[in-house]
A and B are shown apart, each in its own frame.
Chain A
């Protein structure tokens, strides 16, 4: 591909497969019925609906623990007065409670993804979580992770400088990248460095001195541990002029972000990253320039930029369809949607995502998840095949990850952990007329395309080996189909 064709897809090429591609990438995929409904709206209507995050609001009540804790001052005081032993006990209790809340938070988020509400908003929220990777292991507060998650949701398709300003002041981020520790004498450079390197410009587009100066520009911004809010403390502020990205002035974080987003590299960096996430291919330099120009044309607003992408001929090129490796979250959420089944309960989803390498709120490092082929190794692939057993039959073959240092336990005892997939609902009378019709129904539901011949024939031979085609065999059929290489792609 030489030129990135960002012109709108001709109406004649908007078909069921294109609608499936759009829902897979801009959301988490869906049932044949959902895809058909999206298709019937026409491309402009479909994109409009995906970008309208208020169309089908999902009612979620904020858990109590996510709100500011009115007793925090008292608790902190008690902690200060406690003996070392009491303090350790209190810390342990807080940690255990925190762990429960994080499980709950993860499940709330997965439910939002699985719901019909605003799949693109949730997908973007996941993108920003990976982009501004922040780990609860360091932040140690489910409340702050919840708040950051809401921040990403609110700004999901918003304005780049506004999102950067919000993230820079976000308590979880202040803690995670040590801005909370920054002092004027020795400004902590952790956030300043990642802001330039990983969040906005990329290596080679700033100097070491820009990092130091950016850290100075950020002095004064810190974290109020009592109120759990960002705060500006004038006494922590380094007032001397900053020489940043070729300009000089007393920049604060807003000035810093203004300077950064004005850099030529800024638009290309984030536009390219969004393109990779949604289109599934890394843009060339030339393609990045085209994407950057489009984002600049919309004044760094993401919603109109995404609208262009989702309309574009380039996004629907055959070379971009069905060749992105599903992330573990995409796999889990997508499978639950396709199988029209409930999400497994929190401990199971948490364990599955950990085994698959994408524990939410715990990215491996500040670079986030590498994605792509890094999702796949022999261990995670076998886990994907066994997750398919859980989701189709309800039997849980996955080993529990033991915390601490005990060896992993036996996986033999396998109670029926959750309900089975509702196969009666997934296959109609027409589908059950022949093995060929059943396989075609599976292809329609799980792949929206024809399977490679070897997989197709394996499924057919499986059905032919069975005397009946009852629920058990249909679950077996779905599970096998989910073990294909093709199913790992979207």
Chain B
């Protein structure tokens, strides 16, 4: 059921839309609200008012020390004679730490009180394999234990049973490991233009050949025409039934394709985004959020952070893309009236070695900072900053002080509003980063 509060907000947002955009959008808005209402009998929450988590992996192992730079720390400069960033160059956050100069986008967010930094995040017995460490972050497992399902997949299983499959949207052509669930949920979407059944050009000629209505017919019979996806998600579908799984995915693909095409075409972004792939994905995410897709979690990845050689230029380029893209995203969400219900978490599978290597780069490390961005996060620094004194390092790596699962627990409890213990398998000390 929609609460009165959410209804008011929906109306208010709809109203602000109507004032600034052409009339057809208001129509879309109404029809989306109608859809949400139709679903409300089986779905506890609609897409209009629920908090949304955007998870962004900086894939490859981001160099945390050159991202949130301890510019006043002599150990830092001793370990990094070539790569160390000077106090004069960084964007200072306080008298100890500053952002990489390319992260101007984050500085803006910091000034607006929309940026939180958690120092020294990691896990015990760190693993330096990209694959394994990503898996540990994705499944929220202990370092030595292999888990089958992802932490977000377990969240879908526990808290979103029977909801629209777009409850989880991964931008990319794979299903992220974090989404792996007992009952597969979520969609994967790489390019909205390609996310549809494409008609042959020759079919558009006068003598026919169009298969679209029949394609729809084939993929529509799994559920009643009203689109009660909930009926499909519950219970009987197991991975042991590949035919049922395919039918459900085809149905989900078709219905979500229709919605996404419509939203991508009709919801207009309020700001312009920089020209890079991450920004393009975030731009689409903003459209989908503003359009009311009932998504709780968006998952994105920004790759290239494995900077073993010639790090300076490459890292600056990556962080500029990251900061500019996220700053545009936050500004857009704000203008679209959606910022208060969105929290962005960025993480990387590990940080990098404190000492630079012989090739102008850094090797795989351990602990690193994590960012949270949004309208309702608690800004500033959280958690103790790790010492860089050689004696305090773990095999040359930054030790972690905050277990990444404590951040997950916080996001689950205080943002997504669900008990974290059943999802994470144990209770983590409470942090308060959001809400």
Partner-B contacts on A (CB < 8 A) = 203, 323-325, 354-355, 357, 364-367, 372-374, 376-383, 385-386, 389, 393, 395, 397-399, 402, 405-408, 410-412, 414, 454-455, 457-459, 461-462, 465-468, 470, 472-473, 475-476, 479-480, 483-486, 488-489
Contact = CB atoms under 8 A, between A and B. Distances in A.
Contacts of A414: 201
B18 interface: no
A382 B200 contact: no
B207 interface: yes
Contact of B190 (A408, A467, A473): A408
Contacts of B95: none
Interface stretch (B35-43, B237-245, B331-339, B424-432): B237-245
B197 interface: yes
A461 B277 contact: no
Contact of B214 (A399, A406, A462, A486): A462
Interface in B167-184: 170, 172-175, 184
Interface stretch (B3-11, B51-59, B246-254, B407-415): B246-254
Nearest to A463: B214
B202 interface: yes
B221 A408 contact: no
B395 to A, nearest CB: 12
A376 B245 contact: yes
Contacts of B170: 377
Top 4 A-B residue pairs of the complex, sorted by shortest distance between their CB atoms: A397-B198, A407-B280, A485-B246, A378-B253
Given A406-B275, A473-B209, A480-B211, A382 B195 contact: yes
Contacts of A485: 243, 246-247, 250
Contact of B184 (A373, A397, A457, A461): A373
B215 A483 contact: yes
Given A373-B239, A377-B187, A383 B194 contact: yes
A46 to B, nearest CB: 26
Given A325-B246, A402-B277, A479 B188 contact: no
A378 B246 contact: no
Contact of A410 (B193, B256, B275): B193
A118 to B, nearest CB: 28
A355 B173 contact: yes
Contact of A373 (B131, B165, B245, B275): B245
Given A395-B202, A467-B207, A377 B214 contact: no
A378 B277 contact: no
Given A377-B174, A378-B187, A458-B217, A405 B246 contact: no
Nearest to A398: B194
Contacts of A459: 214
Contacts of A386: 194, 197-198
Contacts of A470: 207
Contacts of A365: 131
Interface string B238-274: 0100110111011011001100000000000000000
27 contacts: A325-B242, A355-B173, A357-B174, A365-B131, A366-B131, A376-B249, A377-B175, A378-B188, A378-B195, A378-B252, A379-B173, A379-B190, A381-B246, A381-B250, A382-B257, A405-B276, A406-B275, A408-B191, A454-B221, A458-B218, A462-B214, A465-B213, A472-B202, A472-B208, A483-B197, A486-B243, A489-B243
Contact of B194 (A411, A461, A465): A411
Given A376-B246, A459-B214, A480-B218, A473 B196 contact: no
Contacts of A480: 211, 214-215, 218
B194 A468 contact: no
B321 interface: yes
Interface in B190-232: 190-191, 193-198, 200-203, 207-211, 213-215, 217-219, 221
A379 B246 contact: no
A379 B188 contact: yes
Given A395-B201, A411-B194, 5 more contacts: A386-B198, A389-B198, A399-B193, A410-B193, A480-B211
A323 B243 contact: yes
Contacts of B219: 483
B423 interface: no
B103 interface: no
B370 interface: no
B189 interface: yes
Centre residue among B184, B209, B221 by max chain A CB count within 10 A = B209
Nearest to B131: A365
Nearest to B284: A407
A367 B242 CA distance: 22
B343 interface: no
A406 B243 contact: no
Contacts, number: 171
A467 B208 contact: yes
A215 to B, nearest CB: 15
B187 A407 contact: no
Contacts of A364: 174
A382 B197 contact: yes
Centre residue among A372, A402, A485 by max chain B CB count within 10 A = A485
Contacts of A486: 243
Contacts of A407: 275-277, 279-280
Given A399-B194, A407-B275, A381 B249 contact: yes
B189 A476 contact: no
B345 interface: no
Contacts of A389: 198, 200
A489 B250 CA distance: 13
B188 A380 contact: yes
Contacts of A402: 277
A259 to B, nearest CB: 25
B213 to A, nearest CB: 8
A92 B221 CA distance: 52
Contacts of B201: 395, 414
A324 B321 CA distance: 42
Contacts of B257: 378, 382
B366 interface: no
A424 to B, nearest CB: 16
Contact of B242 (A324, A378, A454): A324
Contacts of B249: 376-378, 381
Contacts of B276: 405-407
Given A323-B242, A382-B253, A480-B215, A374 B198 contact: no
A381 B253 contact: yes
B99 interface: no
Contacts of A476: 200, 203, 209-211
A325 B243 CA distance: 9
A466 B215 contact: no
Contacts of A324: 242
A389 B215 CA distance: 13
A414 B198 CA distance: 11
Given A366-B131, A377-B174, A467-B207, A405 B278 contact: yes
Contact of B207 (A381, A397, A461, A468): A468
Contacts of B280: 407-408
Nearest to A374: B175
Nearest to A356: B173
B185 to A, nearest CB: 11
Contacts of A488: 246
B299 to A, nearest CB: 12
A405 B321 contact: yes
A354 B218 CA distance: 27
Contact of A411 (B193, B210, B279): B193
A185 to B, nearest CB: 16
Nearest to B253: A378
Contacts of B239: 372-373
Contact of B218 (A376, A408, A454): A454
Given A373-B239, A386-B197, A480-B215, A378 B189 contact: yes
